[in-house]
Chain A
Amino acid sequence: RKEVEQDPGPFNVPEGATVAFNCTYSNSASQSFFWYRQDCRKEPKLLMSVYSSGNEDGRFTAQLNRASQYISLLIRDSKLSDSATYLCVVNESFQKLVFGTGTRLLVSP
Chain B
Amino acid sequence: GAGVSQSPSNKVTEKGKDVELRCDPISGHTALYWYRQRLGQGLEFLIYFQGNSAPDKSGLPSDRFSAERTGESVSTLTIQRTQQEDSAVYLCASSLGGLALYEQYFGPGTRLTVT
Contact = CB atoms under 8 A, between A and B. Distances in A.
Interface of A: 31-32, 34, 42-46, 49, 87, 91-102
Majority secondary structure of chain B interface residues (helix, strand, loop or mixed) = loop
Nearest to A88: B42
On chain B, which size bracket covers the interface?
20 to 34
B40 to A, nearest CB: 9
A18 B45 CA distance: 32
B101 interface: yes
Given A43-B107, A97-B100, 16 more contacts: A32-B101, A34-B103, A42-B108, A46-B104, A49-B101, A49-B103, A94-B98, A94-B99, A94-B100, A95-B31, A95-B56, A95-B98, A95-B99, A96-B56, A101-B42, A102-B42
30 contacts: A32-B100, A32-B101, A34-B103, A43-B91, A43-B106, A43-B108, A43-B109, A44-B43, A44-B106, A46-B103, A46-B104, A49-B101, A49-B103, A87-B42, A87-B43, A92-B100, A93-B100, A94-B98, A94-B99, A95-B31, A95-B56, A95-B99, A96-B48, A96-B100, A97-B104, A98-B45, A99-B45, A100-B42, A101-B41, A102-B42
Interface of B: 31, 35, 41-43, 45, 48, 50, 56, 91, 98-101, 103-104, 106-109
B11 to A, nearest CB: 16
Nearest to B106: A43
A32 B100 CA distance: 7
Contacts of A43: 91, 106-109
A101 B41 CA distance: 6
Contacts of A95: 31, 48, 50, 56, 98-100
A96 B45 contact: yes
Nearest to B35: A99
A6 B43 CA distance: 13
Contacts of A97: 45, 100, 104
Q: Which of B42, B91, B101, B109 is packed against the most chain A CB atoms within 10 Å?
A: B42
